[in-house]
Amino acid sequence: MNAFSWLFLAALAAATATRWWLDRRQIRHVRARRDAVPPMFAGTIPLDAHRKAADYTIAKARLGVVDLFLDAAVVLALTLGGGLELLGRASASLFAAGSLAHGTALLSSLFLLQALIGLPLSLYRTFVIEQRFGFNRMTWRLYFSDLAKQTALALVLGLPLILALLWLMEHMGSLWWLYAWLVLTAFSIVLQLLFPAVILPLFNKFTPLADGELAERVGKLLARCGFKSKGLFVMDGSKRSSHGNAFFAGFGAAKRIVLFDTLVTRLEPPEVEAVLAHELGHYKLHHILKRIILSTATTLAGLWVLGQLLHEPWFYAGLGVATPSLAAALALFMLAVPPFTFFLQPIGSHFSRKHEFEADAYATRNADAAELAQALVKLYRDNASTLTPDPLHSAFYDSHPPAAVRIARLRPT
């Protein structure tokens, strides 16, 4: 072990301890307010629904604690525990050490191992927690069918990307990180174009919104907002979960508006219109573009940092790898970065919540604020979203504002 080993351990310990402390705060805070509906929601959220939301939040937080310590243990085992070194040696028994095939095998085996370790928790989340609270509609057959499709997509899309990145790292000299960034950016754009028309239909059925009051309202809303898309579709989200949602898929000429069937059946047409106006706000206010720019800038910065570490012996030795390679460097970087960047998470969460407020304000200018507030309350109730999150936990993690704060802005006194 060297100085970097101790720095990495300190970062991992600090991030893990803080996450555990935040989860414990969330559990205590929500449990303490389980038996009283906040006054703002007393007339719209029954006590039983509020208790269900509290219990659901606590159950997810407890599972999150297990996931937290499992993740820390896996990271330690793969780095200082020598796990990545063993994977590298196993891959070298099949392919020439340092070759593109060896690097691809090393990274693929790492991703496969992480997926297998996370599988039991994913199954527990779906078939125990979601089932217990009445949200899961996924069958075991559908779950593993989805898993098979996701694995196939990862192979078809991921293996060429890994090969391309390793080739660039090997052949493009000191500026490989810039070329790699260009490739990753192009890959992301192509993926966004393929996502609505090719990838999503592999998992769900999309039906154009039928004519009627909702279609008429949506048509007028889109005209008011000057928004053009490839269409408005209803997705059969109910075959996997009873949670409701709405989202955009793709961008440019390929963008589509997607409503979950659960959302359409639970909300009245004016409420759906208001929710959709909020989603349109994200697009019209360039929130999606800003997130893409931030993501690509972060990727560029990360690749540059990796470029500086690539040939530093202390980087490999400090993270338990005795046989340096390009693939090992990439793997170590992905494993080591999260503990160092964890404490930046509240910044991203803050700007995400800011965007939500801005999208709400846009919606109130193009739809009825009261209808949006009413729709959100229904979604909080039906999705068992806690109305009383711990403020500090929320500041770290929540991409959306707390329910009480958000509704208060939509219902000014």
List the catalytic residues.
279
Which string of DSSP letters, residue by residue, matches 312-378?
A: -HHHHHHTT-SS--HHHHHHHHHHHHHHHHGGGHHHHHHHHHHHHHHHHHHHHHHS-HHHHHHHHHH
Cβ count within 10 A of residue 143: 16
Tokens of 69: 């310590």
Two structure tokens written together for 144: 């593993």
Residue in this structure with the two tokens 């009261």, named with its chain if needed: 370
By C-alpha distance, which of 222, 230, 228, 287 is closest to 254? 230
| 280-290 core/surface letters (b: 16 or more CB in 10 A; e: else) | bbbbbeebbee
Q: How far apart are CA 179 and CA 235, in angstroms?
A: 38
Going by their DSSP bridges, the two strands 206-208 and 232-235 should be labelled as: antiparallel
Half-sphere exposure for 38 (CA within 13 Å, toward CB): 18
Q: How many CB atoms lie within 10 A of CB 49?
A: 17
**CA–CA gap between residue 290 and residue 352 (Å, rounded):** 11
Distance CA 351, CA 207 (A): 34
Please name the helix (run of DSSP H) or strand (run of DSSP E) that holds residue 207, with its range, or none. Answer: strand 206-208
Give the β-pairing of 246-249 and 256-260: antiparallel
Nearest to 194 by CA among 255, 239, 137: 255
Residues 6 or more apart whose Cβ sits within 8 Å of residue 129: 56, 59, 60, 63
**Is there a contact between 267 and 375 (Cβ–Cβ < 8 Å)?**
yes
- Nearest residue to 31 (alpha-carbon basis) of 57, 64, 62: 57
